[in-house]
Structures are given as structure tokens and as C-alpha cells.
Amino acid sequence: MTNNVRVRYAPSPTGNLHIGNARTALFNYLFARNAGGKFIIRVEDTDAKRNVEGGEQSQLNYLKWLGIEWDEGSDVGGNYGPYRQMERLELYKKYVYELLEKGLAYKCYMTEEELDAEREDQRARGEVPKYSGAHSNLSEKQINQFETEGRQPSIRIRVPEGKTYKFNDLVRGDISFESSDFGDWVIVKKNGTPTYNFAVAVDDHLMDITHVLRGEEHISNTPKQMMVYDALGWEPPTFGHMTLILNENRKKLSKRDEHILQFIEQYNKLGYLPEALFNFITLLGWSPVGEEEIFTKDQLIEQFDSDRLSTSPAIFDPAKLKWMNNQYVKALNLDSVVDLALPHLVEAGRLSENMAENDQSWARELISLYHEQLDYGAQIVELTELFFKQEIQYDESAMDVLKGEQVPEVLDTFKKKLAELDDFSPANVKAQIKATQKETGHKGKKLFMPIRVATTGQTHGPELPDAIHLLGAETVTIRLNDVLNQLQN
């Protein structure tokens, strides 16, 4: 095994890139870059029934979108290929043959029905089901008989008796398993396809993988992979198993848990920034030195240390992700924010895809009003709703404002002041608000709140002169008249 750090992320092309898988890829990437090593993408596509058309490309696309690059893989090549398992079948056959020749593996002809019956008998006796080894020492006569019957064999590895498998996990420290916990397990299925644990062990060895960083659900796979290493006389890599990601209720993220978006594609479509997600996901199970939480990719590469991988489950907090993304949005220039938000207004039917120049300027001003508070691109649709409504439904807090005895006077005076304007600019609107104050004697909330509620339908929002300017004279006049009519009836 090479002394240079080589790590891999090995997705199955069974769907879109999940938050948990993205974290695995990201931690491996940061580990490799921090150590000056290599990061490899290897596609584990042997489970043909679960593979999805376009699944591999989708995962690779969203890894790139996040800002993760790799040194070797099916799309960039490398000296250790092929990088798809189904293209490596001939490689696996060599090592299967070696294990069979040494008597460290054997053919098992048991049918699924026989295996099911065996497991049921074990459960009935209160035992943990595992393969009994019934076909571990078949005679030539028995083998010939099974093959005459047309049975297709699987191939099982012989699990040594009385052996303890120990490894020092990068995250959890010393972990051990007893070989007695395992029955002889299948390394090649009846259809000739290698099983996960066998193929992974062979691939990691042949690709000189030095460290395997993955989720804790793989801990139970580790002893099986160590058995393959032992049987073939290889040195295993260093293993590290990251803790689970939990929701706010401290339950494991489930794909049925719909209140948390769990696929990177969903965040992309909502207008989250890849830099923010990169930052946020890195902090799911890893902690930097100090209290700072906002980092560039280069800073995270420099700081990443496997000793700071958490031994406690990571909590996925959607509110924190929104806050973090907002920090990144606020740091963008206005052109970038417009590029982020405008497509969502078009998609919602609020704006035309082919706008005239003055409409483009209006849209740019509108988006700029919400630059500071925008958490993600698609949120602009909700935030700007008041600018596209024909009628306003006033909620309870808005109606409370409009019940003030000074409200009719303030609104009527303000309407007349606006009618005097030729230029409906924010500065001129602001001047007319001050003129209304001077004429009526009302100021502070008694002045501003009725004007805000009547024109926008909200009790809080962007700078009032800016909002009134963008609503336009016609819309504002209609809204003021509607409120005054309601107050008089």
C-alpha cells in the first residue's frame, strides 16, 4: 500500500445525491486535499435492479456543483481504472479463483427456499440467523448431483473460527468483532456478480486506498472486508466511521421525513448557494477550532483534521442552513443576487422571461429591496408577493393599525400629497410622507404604520418610500382609496 493518502467516495447510481452521501464525499475530499493526497470517485453499480438511468451522472453533476473535484474517476480517467465495478468483473474473478484454489472459499448450491427454512429453524430455537455451513464440505458426488439438477451456485468465503477482528477507527477508537458472529457469507451471487463487501475490499486494495471514511452504518461491513484482506494476504486500509445525521427531534434522517429537504438537487433548485451548503455540510459531524462558522473552501481544506470528527450524532438544523445561506447571499453583489432570484419570479409567473429594459430595471430594484433578508433564491416569490397582488386581505394586526382614529386623516392627506408628484421616486415619496406629518401633526408609528399597512398590506417590510415607489402611483392610489372607502362604511 502506498504511503500517500488515497481516499475514495463510492456512490451507487440508485438516485439523486443525498445529504448523507454528500457529506461522505465532502469529508473524503477535504481529508485528501488537507493531506496533499488523491480523491477518487468509484461507481458501485453491481446492484442492477436498484440502478437508475442517469443516476451516476446526476450524482457527479451535483458533487461538482457543490465544489468537489476528484483526481480519478469514470469521467476523468486515471491509472487505477476502470472506475465502475461492472467494468471490473474480470478483476474480481481472478481473486475468487485464488480463494477457491486455496480452499478459502467454496461453492454453495443451497436454494433460497432452503436458506429461508434454515433461518426460520434458527429463529425458532432462539438463535441469531446465520448460514450454517451446510455446503462447506461437499463431496464431488454431491456437487455433480446439484449441477445435474441445474442448480446455480453462489460462492461463500470461509469465515475463520475463533478469530477476533480488531481495528482502530479514526472516529470511534478500538472496535472488535468475533468471527463466530458471522456465518460463511456470499462473495459471488448465483448470477456471477460479486457482492458489495467482496468487491469493495478488492477495489480498495487494487486502487491503493489508504483510508476509508464512511457512515457508521458500514461498521458491520468492516470485519467482512477485513476477512477478504486476510484471506488474500493484504493489509487493510485505515477505517473511519462518521456518526449519523439526525433531525431536530434527534431521529435518523428518513426519506419519509419530508419537512427536511434531503437531496442536493432540491437545494440547487430552491436557489441555495453551493458554497453555503459546502460549509454547512462540513459542520455536520466535524468541528473547527474556535467559534467561527463561516469558512471558504480553502479555509476548510486547511483546517480539516480527522481528529475533530465528532463522536456524537450530527443534528441537521434547517433554520441554521437558512441563516448560513443568508450570510453568503448578503456577501454577493447585486448582479449575482438578481441572477439568483429573478428566475424564481419568472417561474412563478410574476415576471416575463423576455422583459423590456424598464421592467428589468424595476425587477432589479425590487430584488435589491430584499437582498439583506433573502435566505435563498426561491424565497423572493414569497417576500415580494405584495407587489403582485390585485387585492389585499388585511390580517388582524393590520386591521388593528387601521382602527386608529387618526388613520383617515393621515391616509387622505398622504393620497393628496402623492397626487402632486410628477416623479414618483423614493426621495419624493419620502418628502411627501414628511409633508403629511407636517400637515396632520401625526408622527412616528401613528404616521408610518397606517401608510405602510394601507399601501403594502403589511405591518413590516422594506423601506417604505422604496416599496411605494416600486408599487407605482396607480396601485398605491387604488389601495389608499380602497382603505378610505372601507373606513367610511
Is 62 in contact with 17 (CB distance < 8 Å)?
Answer: yes
Active site (catalytic) residues = 255
- Report d(CA 157, CA 1) in Å as an integer: 24
Three cell numbers written together for 337: 443576487
- Type of residue at 480: L
- Type of residue at 15: G
Is 318 in contact with 249 (CB distance < 8 Å)?
Answer: no
3-class secondary-structure state, position 140: helix
Instruction: Indicate left, alpha or beta for 475 from its phi (over 0: left) and psi (-120 to 50: alpha).
Output: alpha
Task: Count how many Cα atoms sit within 13 Å of the Cα of residue 323 in the half-sphere of its side chain.
Answer: 7
Bridge pairing between strands 154-157 and 105-108? antiparallel
Helix 464-471 vs helix 426-440: crossing angle, to nearest 10 = 110
Is 198 in contact with 92 (CB distance < 8 Å)?
Answer: yes
361 class by beta-carbon count within 10 Å (0-12 exposed, 13-18 middle, 19+ buried): exposed
Bridge pairing between strands 238-242 and 211-215? parallel
- Report d(CA 324, CA 309) in Å as an integer: 21
- Greatest Cα pair distance, the chain, in angstroms, is 110
Number of helices and strands in the chain (H, E): 20, 11
φ, ψ dihedrals at 371, nearest 5°: -55, -50
3-class secondary-structure state, position 314: strand
- Report d(CA 184, CA 122) in Å as an integer: 15
Is 417 in contact with 436 (CB distance < 8 Å)?
Answer: yes
Is 372 in contact with 328 (CB distance < 8 Å)?
Answer: no
Write the DSSP string, 320-356.
Answer: HHHHHHHHHHHTS-HHHHHHHHHHHHHHTTSS-SS--
